Copies of this chain bind each other. A is one copy, B any other.
Amino acid sequence: MSPSSSLAIPDAAIQAIIGAGRRMDRFHWVPATAGNFSVRLPGGRVAITRSGRHKGFLDADSVMGVDLEGRPEEAGARPSAETLLHCGIYRRFPEAGAVLHGHSVANTVLSRQAGEGIELAGYELLKAFPGLPTHEAAVTLPVFDNDQDIARLQRAVDARWDGMAAISPATGSVIPPGYLIRGHGVYVWARDMDAALARLEALEFMLECELQERRSR
């Protein structure tokens, strides 16, 4: 088998990424060239969106391969700016098969007003998240300060995960279903793209509810 064929991106991964972009565009969650999406491939590879494309209008050429350190498989190819955040998720969570990042008005406004986290409680949709079998649970969505140094931002994310496990090793599986970067959108992940989209829809729905509740109180 030639090297070039070993670097090909499977069509299923490409179609999953293109489809996610179309759906997120329908929800207005990928304005301008915002957002980036990836799928884990066998052999320590990741298929991820190239930098600078509008995510509602992707094609096969918009997807490229990187390794788990974010290094492009093709010399000179430029993956999405936040590739290291995707890689951080794949390294930390072995069950993660797809990662989505998008900007909604709700997640942008709430993350700008929040401290280190946003608590979601009492929603039936909390059941869409892992380790939360009932609406009576509550989850705190971490909020990180934005940082153009993505490696440093990923270290802050890792430090938060490390701290959570240290405080509560018995509940290591109750990882938050995603996290926010202040003024910079949300990251979610799940076993595959459909599950990641479902998690994103659940999260954005609750954030929109939070935004509306604050206004009508």
State the A residues within 8 Å of B (CB).
27-28, 31-34, 54, 103, 105-106, 108-109, 112-113, 122-125, 128, 133-136, 146, 148, 181-185, 194, 198-199, 201-202, 204-205, 208-209, 211-217
Q: Of the candidates B31, B34, B123, which one forms a contact with A183 in the assembled complex, judged by CB atoms under 8 Å apart? A: B123
Residue of B124, B134, B184 near A34 (CB, 8 A) is B124
When A and B form their complex, which 6 residue pairs have the shortest distance between CB atoms, in order from nearest? A124-B184, A32-B202, A31-B201, A31-B205, A32-B198, A214-B216
Most buried by B among A123, A124, A214: A124
- Smallest Cβ distance from A214 to chain B, in angstroms? 4
Most buried by B among A34, A112, A214: A34
What CA separation (Å) do A29 and B208 show in the bound complex?
A: 13
Q: What are 5 A-B residue pairs whose CB atoms fall within 8 Å in the complex?
A: A31-B205, A109-B213, A124-B184, A214-B216, A215-B215
Selected contact of A112 from candidates B103, B122, B185, CB within 8 Å: B122
A199 and B134 within 8 A (CB): no
Query: Nearest residue in B to A148 (C-beta to C-beta)?
Result: B134
B122 touches A183 (CB 8 A): yes
Contact, CB under 8 Å: A202 / B31: yes
Q: How far is the CB of A152 from chain B (nearest CB, A)?
A: 13
Instruction: Add 5 more A-B contacts to A31-B204, A32-B125, A103-B124 (CB < 8 A).
Output: A32-B201, A112-B122, A123-B183, A124-B181, A124-B183
A125 and B215 within 8 A (CB):
no
B105 touches A209 (CB 8 A): yes
